[in-house]
């Protein structure tokens, strides 16, 4: 299961670096393509030449040492990896990553990658139990990083306790299980594009036309697709949500921005889920300066925006196209009309006046309609669970 898998091993400074050498050897023997990146401290324990010999690849340690002038090395490596493993991971690198600090090649690359990142800590038992380290680990857990817990035993410092880097054989087995599971996921090899959130249509430099969409449903759909192995692209309007990990996130503001982003991703997409609440109208004229209050009423002339969903329906070839319809009455009837009119494969309809549904809620109540005439109703439940069922 590791043949031709691209694994980037980030090695940071600790006595357990010697185990990282064995890890590279075992991964290479299992057929993986391993590239190693080292911090300056790691090089005090083992030289880059050792890792080069074991991996049969160049070893990277200087952000400004561009071995191939056609690419930016740390971005190229971040994009190249199927999986990134930080082993051993010191308290220092854990703290930097938890706080978004990028001051060397390892931390810069870790912030740039969209691949899954596994962190294998190794440190003194008291360091591992320090409140600051625990806080940083919890932050990274919440951000979607996976940890390979250290084992207990005799430590290089003389203490006995939890802090030993997990054995290379065990790490290789975990990686093998990961790729075995990934291969069996139903959306592996499929590209899923999901739009989420509202759009904003500017009136002047301080005002805009928008709606109440929170983006929660679209984000939940994107996470469900990624969990099933899809190459997921989330195109998000302005929302107050944390960016999900394990996918590409494209931020947009206006309906025109979203149309451009969707069109750029559409051709090679397998599934497109259009859950964003895109403005139907925008101000015809955008004032370059703030509009001042006047005596009496004011009129803002609006013009239609491009119907993104219909544009995609008219131009689709092999894509499965899924729309959303947020209604305040006759949701299913309006949904059926929209399904046919916009050449969709599925549409998800909900009544936003339902107390368990609507904008900003953590729950939803929806009905999934298909062009084949089938329908499935989802009673009130968390948007995460509904999204998993739909995907």
| Torsional class of 136: left (φ above 0), alpha (ψ -120 to 50), beta (otherwise) | alpha
| Active-site annotation holder among 125, 157, 332, 382 | 157
Cα separation, 279 vs 51, in Å, equals: 54
- Say how far residue 146 (Cα) sits from the centre of its chain: 14
In the numeric block, the tokens 């010999």 are attached to 53
- β-bridge partners, 34: 7
The question of whether 10 is a catalytic residue gets the answer: no
Least Cα distance to 194 among 295, 137, 271 occurs for 271
Count Cβ atoms below 10 Å from residue 318 Cβ, excluding itself.
7
Residue 336 to residue 346: CA distance in whole angstroms? 9
- Whole-number Å distance between alpha carbons of 275 and 288: 31
- Kindly state the helix (H) or strand (E) to which residue 283 belongs, with its residue range: strand 281-283
Contact 198, 218 (CB under 8 A): no
Cβ contact 256:281 at 8 Å: no
Residue 359 contacts residue 212 (beta carbons within 8 Å): yes
Q: Which residues are catalytic?
A: 157
């Amino acid at each position: 299961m590791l043949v031709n898998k691209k694994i980037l091993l980030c090695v940071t400074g600790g006595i357990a670096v010697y185990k990282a050498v064995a890890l590279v050897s075992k991964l290479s023997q299992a057929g993986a393509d391993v590239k190693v990146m080292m911090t300056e401290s790691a090089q005090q324990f083992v030289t880059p030449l050792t890792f080069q010999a074991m991996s049969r690849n160049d070893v990277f340690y200087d952000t400004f040492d561009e071995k191939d002038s056609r690419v930016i090395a740390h971005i190229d490596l971040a994009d190249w990896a199927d999986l990134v493993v930080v082993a051993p991971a010191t308290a220092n690198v854990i703290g930097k990553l938890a706080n978004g600090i990028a001051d060397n090649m390892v931390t810069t690359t870790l912030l740039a990658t969209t691949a899954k990142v596994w962190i294998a800590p190794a440190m003194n038992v008291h360091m591992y139990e320090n409140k600051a380290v625990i806080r940083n680990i919890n932050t990274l857990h919440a951000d979607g990083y996976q940890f390979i817990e250290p084992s207990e035993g005799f430590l290089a410092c003389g203490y006995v306790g939890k802090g030993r880097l997990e054995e290379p054989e065990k790490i290789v087995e975990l990686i093998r299980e990961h790729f075995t599971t990934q291969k069996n996921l139903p959306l592996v090899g499929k590209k899923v594009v999901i739009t989420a959130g509202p759009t904003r249509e500017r009136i002047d430099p301080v005002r805009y036309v928008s709606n109440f969409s929170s983006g929660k449903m679209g984000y939940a759909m994107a996470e469900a697709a990624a969990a099933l192995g899809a190459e997921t692209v989330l195109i998000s309007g302005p929302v107050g949500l944390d960016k999900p990990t394990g996918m590409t996130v494209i931020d947009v503001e206006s309906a025109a921005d979203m149309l451009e982003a969707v069109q750029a991703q559409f051709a090679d997409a397998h599934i497109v889920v259009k859950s964003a609440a895109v403005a139907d109208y925008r101000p015809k004229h955008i004032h370059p300066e703030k509009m001042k209050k006047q005596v009496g009423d004011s009129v803002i002339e609006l013009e239609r925006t491009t119907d993104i969903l219909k544009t995609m329906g008219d131009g689709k070839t092999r894509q499965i196209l899924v729309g959303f319809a947020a209604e305040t009455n006759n949701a299913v009837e309006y949904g059926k009309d929209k399904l046919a009119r916009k050449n969709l494969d599925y549409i998800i309809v909900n009544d936003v006046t339902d107390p368990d549904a609507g904008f900003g809620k953590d729950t939803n109540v929806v009905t999934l309609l298909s062009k084949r005439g089938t329908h499935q109703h989802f009673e009130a439940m968390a948007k995460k669970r509904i999204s998993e069922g739909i995907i």
